[in-house]
Amino acid sequence: MKDYSEFTLEDFVQDPGFRMWALSKQSSGCDLFWDNWIYENPEKLLLVLQAKELVKASAVNELPDWPEDLSDQIEKVFLRTTRKPVRINTGITPFFKIAAVFIFITGLGWWFLSSRQNDLSKDADRNLVAHKNNLNLSSRVTVLSDGSKVTCKGDSKIWVDKQFGKDQRTVYLRGEAFFEVSRDVKKPFLVVTDDLTTKVLGTSFLVKANTGDANISVSVNTGKVSVSNKDRSGSKNLLANSVNLIPNQQATYDRNQRRLIKTLVQDPVIISHSANQFDFHQLPVHEVFVVLERAYGIPIVFDRKKVRHCTIIASMKSGSLYEKLDLVCEMIQASYQIINGEIVINARGCSQM
């Protein structure tokens, strides 16, 4: 069995099985195989679609008349891709005409990829429907067939399969979008970017995957999500890293170091409200930490023995979570760190009164 995960663009274009599928006009066993393969390797979608288009473009039944300026066009492509001028002799055989046309198309494809982002909506055969936010709008809401809502921000774009919701729920994203996902335990909702795949059952979260940014981030508003990145160095393309997120947690992927980091969102919000929950009157500090943990849904780790004699009197109805933590830590001479999406308290302890 071939390991298609290691295939380059040229490998796909020259593979007999792939070419058969790319040129097939009717449903066949190849469709099922490649649909499943793409589903399991979503990060290869753009490469597969590029190869498929090149196969179609190079499959000519009759050789066209050789345009007089074709050699000049080919030379321009090679100048842009290899920066080495190539002159084509027009008095060549039909076999080399096909080869030259194929080289021209392949070079054009590589130049196209390097000079701008692929526009998937231009190929109806890709079976994807594009939804793009207009540049003059701050955001655009798209309601998917399963009831899920996607709010694209700025110049962002999503693609969904025409059969979305039937057997799978996968959305391909370029840019920034907020997702409100309808719950369906039988069909997980996948958001695929160039480097990350986010998997949920039903929740709301924000994905920032802007082209050119050094980092990609996924921030959870409600529910739980799983975020993973692919290991591009291994032959089996196994998951290199995966993190589970709860509300107010965030996963950040460093594209340069290919590292996935679990942390907290910039401004955690209260997810559980109760009356007078931030009025502390001679309350033991360990109970204060429990109140904050329940209010924001973020785990707070501390040594109970060290804070067992610590109590505080304070009203913290205003201010952010970090401001509340700063105040509590100042009162008991402690500090805190954000480690792997949790708040870790470093306390010295309080003297017994």
Q: What is the pLDDT of residue 59?
A: 62
d(CA 141, CA 178): 9
- Count CB-CB contacts under 10 A for residue 137: 11
Mean pLDDT to the nearest integer, 99-112: 47
Q: Which range among 29-33, 218-222, 315-319, 349-353 shows the weakest confidence by mean pLDDT?
A: 29-33
Cβ-based neighbours of 335, under 8 Å, separated by 6 or more? 329, 345, 346
**Cα dihedral 293, 298, 304, 310 sign:** negative
Q: Is the pTM of this model over 0.75?
A: no
Among 45, 53, 33, 59, CA closest to 109? 53
pLDDT score of 81 more than 60: no
Mean pLDDT to the nearest integer, 342-350: 91
pLDDT score of 60 more than 70: no
Among 147, 155, 200, 144, CA closest to 177? 155
Q: Which CA distances in Å does 5 have to 22, 142, 283, 293? A: 17, 32, 58, 43
pLDDT tens column, 214-235: 899 999 999 999 999 865 544 3
**Residues linked to residue 279 through DSSP beta bridges, in sequence order:** 315
3-state secondary structure of 131: strand
Domains and CATH numbers, the chain: 4-120 (no CATH), 126-264 (2.60.120.1440), 279-347 (3.55.50.30)
Q: What is the pLDDT of residue 159?
A: 92
Q: What is the pLDDT of residue 135?
A: 60
Rounded to a whole number of angstroms, the distance between the first and last alpha carbons of the chain is 73
Question: Burial letters for 56-83: b for 16+ Cβ neighbours within 10 Å, e otherwise?
Answer: eebeeeeeeeeeeebbeebeebbeeeee
